Structure 1
Amino acid sequence: MTQGVQGSAEASGASAAGRGGFAGGALRVPAQPSAADVDRAAVRGGSGGGPAAARGEHTHGAQPVPRVQRSSVRGQILDALRTALVSGELRPGEVYSAPVLGERFGVSATPVREAMQQLALEGAVEVVPNRGFRVVVRGARELAELAEVRALIEVPVMLRLARTVPVERWAELRPLAESTVRAASSGCAASYAEADRAFHREALSLAGNGQLLRIAEDLHRRAQWPVLSGTTTRGRADLVADAAQHTALLDALIARDLDVVRALVREHFAGA
């Protein structure tokens, strides 16, 4: 997609070239088909592209029109918005309109607004009355505070698990660690963020504490939101270095080298 989204169009009626636009590549969820659309797609053997194709938009290889449950629309949009935040497509300080984003998604404004409300609860955006949602502008201090809180929670847990979890259980996390390395090598911040959370979530799950997982996941996600407006996302070298610590940590856990484990987990959060 090359047409930008006008984030403040709802309030100002400005043109698409005005303030608040973004590339929109990550903001793509399947257009929500009507029953007739789904039936027609089935008759054509899944070759149709649905409403997006009818508008002449790129449909990623003209995949069959998906049967999307209404209850999943909000979740799909939330995932897409989170990806756009991490990748920097939704820019700090900019205001985005739910109706305009809904038009981009091919849905009503309601599920977009609901997804944005969830992001507001998570601290990623703030409500701007009669206009939409502004991506929160954050500084380095807030990120440092998040890293400190994460370390206070996760470091003691990891050190306790290092002493108690069987070696073979740590070995089972190897594919997840390798996944973070591949994602980092791609240079895609959004892909790495997802792989990074998956690795940490699985490691912490060994503690058997659901409350810990929920709190740690929330803190981790907040730490991945964009920082100051105009700054770039983490570069490939930073992602690769971060991912390498996952594999090094697993090596130390499997070797039962507690001194190295202690140093690595502390360094990992200090770097965050």
Structure 2
Amino acid sequence: MGHLQRNLATTRERLRDQVAHALRAALISGELKPGQVYSAPGLAEDFGISATPVREAMLDLAREGLVEPVRNKGFRVTEVDERDLDQYSEIRMLIEVPTVGRITRSASREELEALRPVAEQIVAAARAHDLIGYLEADRRFHLSLLALAGNDRLVETVGDLRKRSRLYGLTALDESDRLIPSAEEHIELLDLMAAGDAEGAERCMSRHLGHVRSLWAEGGQKPLAAQQTRARKTAGTAGRDLGAVS
């Protein structure tokens, strides 16, 4: 029975993870709207599964700051305003720019080159309009790069900031291929770091973070219809993946 119980637990955890993945896709694409409350039973009905893994997945998202529990109702999607984005960007600038310079001076070329496949995945995902793949590769690149500084708390702090800000306006930017230039900056950054150009790497990181903030602002101004179109495509893909498990 122990083996059976482990298999059941693994299946339940996998379903929970896939529900969380589908919900993140809907959040990023804008299908789940900031400020609105969604119930676990209602979302479970959309997925065609029980409410338990949906509720567990929503609790995971709550710990990430993406939603917040509303007593006896469900979960409200966290709203991110321009002031929040400005503050998140400022903190990331204060942390990541000097850290990149320090890593450039201390990391080996082998350690930096190990990140090149991830940087290339970011570009490939942007070109393929794979929003979830883009965010996942972007997250791995930035956090793995910062990890070379040897400060776990620093990595946790930046990871938390990324979760809370997500990429505001990502869907609309994807529609106009504006994500590709931002994606290519990761490769430029790696080239500068591998060449030992610490000052150039700091300037590149500063420009990249400033670019990301401007993309958030511009993305938020795009027509809602375009965002909803991509939202249906993104969430639909995640939903198909979920259906394969459930």
Report TM bin, short chain: 0.7 to 0.9
What residue number does 1:179 align with?
A: 121
Aligned residue identity for 1:245: E
Give the Cα–Cα distance (whole angstroms) in 2 for the partners of residues 127 and 191 of structure 1.
27
Query: Which structure is higher in helix share?
Result: 2
In structure 2, the CA distance between the partners of 1:247 and 1:205, relative to structure 1 (3 Å rule), is: same
* TM-score, reference length from structure 2: 0.74
In structure 2, the CA distance between the partners of 1:89 and 1:262, relative to structure 1 (3 Å rule), is: same
Q: Would you say 1:73 and 2:35 are equivalent positions?
A: no
- Which aligned runs of 4 or more in structure 1 are off by greater than 6 angstroms? none
Give the Cα–Cα distance (whole angstroms) in 1 for the partners of residues 70 and 167 of structure 2.
19
Task: Give runs of aligned pairs for residues 139-158 of structure 1, distance below 5 A.
Answer: 139-158=81-100
Give the Cα–Cα distance (whole angstroms) in 2 for the partners of residues 225 and 260 of structure 1.
25
Task: Give runs of aligned pairs for residues 100-179 of structure 1, distance below 5 A.
Answer: 100-179=42-121
Residue 167 of structure 1, CA deviation: 1.6
In structure 2, the CA distance between the partners of 1:184 and 1:78, relative to structure 1 (3 Å rule), is: same
Residue 264 of structure 1, CA deviation: 0.4
Give the Cα–Cα distance (whole angstroms) in 2 for the partners of residues 98 and 76 of structure 1.
15
What residue number does 1:234 align with?
A: 173
Asked whether the 8 Å contact 2:119–2:187 carries over to 1, the reply is yes
Asked whether the 8 Å contact 2:193–2:201 carries over to 1, the reply is yes
In structure 2, the CA distance between the partners of 1:132 and 1:233, relative to structure 1 (3 Å rule), is: farther
In structure 2, the CA distance between the partners of 1:184 and 1:199, relative to structure 1 (3 Å rule), is: same
Given candidates 180, 183, 193, the residue that maps to 1:243 is 183
Corresponding residue SS for 1:134: strand
Asked whether the 8 Å contact 2:98–2:202 carries over to 1, the reply is no
Residue 68 of structure 1, CA deviation: 5.2
* TM-score, reference length from structure 1: 0.68
Asked whether the 8 Å contact 2:123–2:183 carries over to 1, the reply is yes
Task: Give runs of aligned pairs for residues 1-272 of structure 1, distance below 5 A.
Answer: 69-224=11-166, 226=168, 233-235=172-174, 236-272=176-212
Give the Cα–Cα distance (whole angstroms) in 1 for the partners of residues 10 and 45 of structure 2.
17
What residue number does 2:229 align with?
A: none
Give the Cα–Cα distance (whole angstroms) in 2 for the partners of residues 209 and 120 of structure 1.
25
In structure 2, the CA distance between the partners of 1:226 and 1:245, relative to structure 1 (3 Å rule), is: closer
Residue 76 of structure 1, CA deviation: 2.4
Unpaired stretches in structure 1, ≥5 consecutive residues: 1-34, 39-65
Residue 233 of structure 1, CA deviation: 3.9
Asked whether the 8 Å contact 2:29–2:171 carries over to 1, the reply is no
Residue 98 of structure 1, CA deviation: 0.3
Asked whether the 8 Å contact 1:88–1:226 carries over to 2, the reply is no
Give the Cα–Cα distance (whole angstroms) in 2 for the partners of residues 130 and 258 of structure 1.
53
Give the Cα–Cα distance (whole angstroms) in 2 for the partners of residues 175 and 181 of structure 1.
10
Asked whether the 8 Å contact 2:28–2:171 carries over to 1, the reply is no
Give the Cα–Cα distance (whole angstroms) in 2 for the partners of residues 124 and 226 of structure 1.
12
